[in-house]
Amino acid sequence: MGIVAGLDSSPDFTRIVVCDADTGAVLKQGYAPHPVEGAEGGSRPSDVDPQAWLLSLGEAAGGGLLEGVQAIGVSAQQNAVVALDSQGNTVRPAMVGGDKRAQVAAADLVDALGGREAWAQAVGCVPQAAQPITKLRWLNKTEPDNALRTAVLLQAHDWLVWQLLGRPVRRTTDRGGASGTGYWSAASGGYRTDLVELALGHQVMLPEVIGPSDAAGTTPEGLLISAGTGETMAAAFGLGIGLGDAVVSLGASGSVMAVHPEALVDSSGMITSLADATGMHLPVVTTLNAVRTLRGAAEMLGLADLESLSELAMKSTPGAHGLVLLPYLEGERTPSLPHTAGTLAGLRRESMRPEHLARAAFEGMLCGLADALDVLRGRGVEVRRVFLLGAAAELSAVQASAPSLFGAQVVVPQPADYAALGAARQAAWALGVSQGTLDPRIAPVWQGAAAQVLEPGEELAVGQAVRQQFVSVREQTHPGAFRP
């Protein structure tokens, strides 16, 4: 069919993979960092000039990397807001990432619509500080002149697609990206423009939401550009997950998502109802404490890295001699305990050893994520296997416990640029549809990711006993807080 490229513009870098459109085999790769000027104390800035993304893209594509490519797919960081004026110029730098400035704005929006359940019914999620709609509220209250000048709203991947196409009059987005804005409903498939007005103070132009296999357009040189999508959706597409699959991502915080045939409305706000890159849905549940739990335990024990913590934990046994860590170090979202702290329970003389604390840290983190999996299972989401992502997924203490605590087969894919691969797969789909060789309803089948497969096996009963020990402490400490 041809050669396609996938571009992933993350908060820190641009990665490009050039693939065979039929098999997904990676032919070439490119990389370039993003400038980080404006960061204070080494932290990531909340405001970024979008031109930095283009500069990084040009550097990553240098040396003729895209020669012979027929179609490009774009994945980019989620929750970025690019506000344009009526002439198509940026009103201010893009607002990106988990912007803590907008925390008050999130609470204001929840109250303004009548509570969390009203938001869940309206758009499938409850406003958080990172979401575009919350950033619009912050802009309206903090920079009213810039809010008034805003005539068009785009996200990062929308803006990059628009630039690649030469800034046409038509601006597009995809279902996946739109579903994370807080003003598009995955259930109804439509915008809630009244919520944009509630946040920003006036109506604006919003990009047209096109289908998963649609093309956003073609460049004057004849290069097809597919719809694009957010990094989460692109990574899921690159992994090739489908019904029955869940993805557990181990970052400082954790997330659990799964493919589901319909949008879920969750009045508690624990589930964010996103759309995926294939026409299905991608409900997500987030925990605030994942690898930060392990890093805290390593520091407490005077260990230099997580590998040392894992080695120490493996000297203990499942259940950590009765030691249980509730890892709610930064408060928690699942269950909703924003003002709580972590708990260490089961202290006895025989359990007060470094290896048991190390083991309890791993088991506490994984049990917290198992709680998130139960939220999805409790809403009818099938979970037969769990893809485990993040550097911590390679740790022996994680791999030893995860299958039995999750109660499912665990797949640990080899590290790869899955968001870029998902963007390339989307480009191959759009290219095949344009050539008449692919069905617009059926994504191209690419070879699955190379991976380790871990089975719960005989350890399942032991893992479930450890999980029950965790649940018992959670219920004693926070009775009634968790209702999946």
Structure confidence at residue 41 (pLDDT): 39
Total residues belonging to the chain: 484
pLDDT digits (tens, 9 = 90+) for 53-97: 999 999 999 999 999 999 999 999 999 999 999 999 999 999 998
pLDDT digits (tens, 9 = 90+) for 283-342: 999 999 999 999 999 999 999 999 999 999 999 999 999 999 999 998 998 998 988 999
Is residue 32 within 8 Å of 54, Cβ to Cβ?
no
As a whole-number percent, the residues of the chain with pLDDT over 70 amount to: 98
Residue of 221 and 73 predicted with greater confidence: 73
Structure confidence at residue 14 (pLDDT): 97
Closest CA to 423 of 200, 178, 177: 177
Structure confidence at residue 43 (pLDDT): 52
Structure confidence at residue 55 (pLDDT): 95
Closest CA to 186 of 266, 249, 94, 76: 266
Place of tokens 């201010």: 92
For 3-234, CATH number out of 3.30.420.40, 3.50.50.100, 3.40.50.150, 3.40.50.300 equals: 3.30.420.40
Q: CA-CA distances (angstroms) from residue 457 to 274, 364, 425, 463, 470?
A: 33, 21, 34, 10, 21
- In single-letter form, the type of residue at position 318 comes to P
Q: Distance from CA of residue 239 to its chain's centroid? A: 13
Is residue 79 within 8 Å of 180, Cβ to Cβ?
yes
| Structure tokens given for 262 | 């319909």
Q: Is the pLDDT of residue 38 over 70?
A: no
Structure confidence at residue 100 (pLDDT): 77
Q: What is the mean pLDDT of the chain?
A: 94
Structure confidence at residue 42 (pLDDT): 43
Q: What is the dihedral of CA 430, 256, 239, 245, to 10 degrees?
A: -100
| Strand blocks (E) in 175-243 | 184-185, 190-191, 208-210, 215-218, 224-226, 229-230
CA distance 84 to 151: 6
Give the mean pLDDT of 255-273. Answer: 90
